[in-house]
Amino acid sequence: MQVMMKLGSREHKQLFCRSFLDTYLDYEPENLPWPNLDPVSLERLRRIPFWREALLTESEAGVMVSAFAETITDPLIKEAVALQGREEHRHARLLRHLIERYDIEVSPLPEITVPDQIETAFTDFGFGECLDSYFAFGMFDLARQAQYMPESVFKIFDPILDEEARHIVFFVNWVTYLHIQQGWNVEGLRSFRALWHYGKALKTLIQAFGGSADQQEGKPFTASEAGHFMDDLTANQFFKTCLDANQQRMQRFDEQLLQPLLMPRLSKLALTCLRLWPSRNPVPSVQGG
């Protein structure tokens, strides 16, 4: 009979840190096999309005996570968080290289500073990544199935999403370990605290995607370009794709490690409700009026 690992224990810390460190992928963004794009694919890439926001997020994350690593006294956790900081910096380099290579218009970024409450910033960022990554996994698969870009582009970004999966698995284990070390031994209290953080992250996500079109780079992606791979997409298909894509990313991790569960559970609930209340209509069109 297998003895289950105790959350918050030294064994737990060793597992989530070593799993993160030992799965590091060594590559340089500039040396990846970036393809020459045909005019249609290039225009599609340039019309995506989130490049500046993504570059800013990764740039801020690299600075913040690296600074947070310097405050950690535990050597193993410090090593793991420092590695994440380097990976966030590398994601920013990758995006900047993509922007420059494909001549995507992006306005200058503001000066990036280290937050005052660095642990709080890292925690908020981690919960936000759990939400962002879940939807990113699903949208990536939808776009790939629709061949929105050449397969060579998806092959470049596929391991990047695997890195995001590593980040969120490391985070949920780290934050649970931290809370237990701080005396939050009751799972229900930890879950309530996590829901509060998820609420903050959801508010931030809504604000990020709720801006007006003139606040975004390029033309709004919520118009006809989204229809290329979202046309006639039903709510059932969307939730199922996100759920399946997340499961595919998560199945690679040790079963003893915690995984983000909120969004998969909400998706399963949504799918159950859709089965009980069936509709033949697709998700309302996002075509511009």
User: What pLDDT is stored for residue 233 in this prediction?
Assistant: 75
Asked if pLDDT for residue 246 goes beyond 80, the answer is yes
Share of residues in the chain with pLDDT > 70 (%): 78
pLDDT bin (cut points 50, 70, 90) of residue 227 is very low
Q: Which of 157, 162, 63 minimizes the C-alpha distance to 109?
A: 63
| The pair of three-digit structure tokens given for residue 245, joined into one six-digit string | 């894509």
Mean pLDDT lowest among 131-140, 153-162, 231-240: 231-240
Cβ proximity of 102 and 46 under 8 Å: yes
Cβ proximity of 51 and 289 under 8 Å: no
User: What pLDDT is stored for residue 238 in this prediction?
Assistant: 87
Position with higher pLDDT, 146 vs 190: 146
Cβ proximity of 114 and 64 under 8 Å: yes
User: What pLDDT is stored for residue 52 in this prediction?
Assistant: 93
User: What pLDDT is stored for residue 212 in this prediction?
Assistant: 40
Give the mean model confidence (pLDDT) for residues 220-235.
Answer: 55
User: What pLDDT is stored for residue 186 in this prediction?
Assistant: 46
User: What pLDDT is stored for residue 69 in this prediction?
Assistant: 98
User: What pLDDT is stored for residue 273 in this prediction?
Assistant: 86
User: What pLDDT is stored for residue 194 in this prediction?
Assistant: 60
User: What pLDDT is stored for residue 191 in this prediction?
Assistant: 59
pLDDT bin (cut points 50, 70, 90) of residue 22 is very high
Cβ proximity of 164 and 140 under 8 Å: no
User: What pLDDT is stored for residue 278 in this prediction?
Assistant: 63
User: What pLDDT is stored for residue 270 in this prediction?
Assistant: 87
The CA–CA distances, whole Å, from 19 to 4, 135, 160, 230 equal: 17, 24, 17, 36
Asked if pLDDT for residue 220 goes beyond 90, the answer is no
Mean pLDDT lowest among 74-83, 111-120, 276-285: 276-285
How high is the mean pLDDT of the chain? 84
pTM as predicted: 0.85
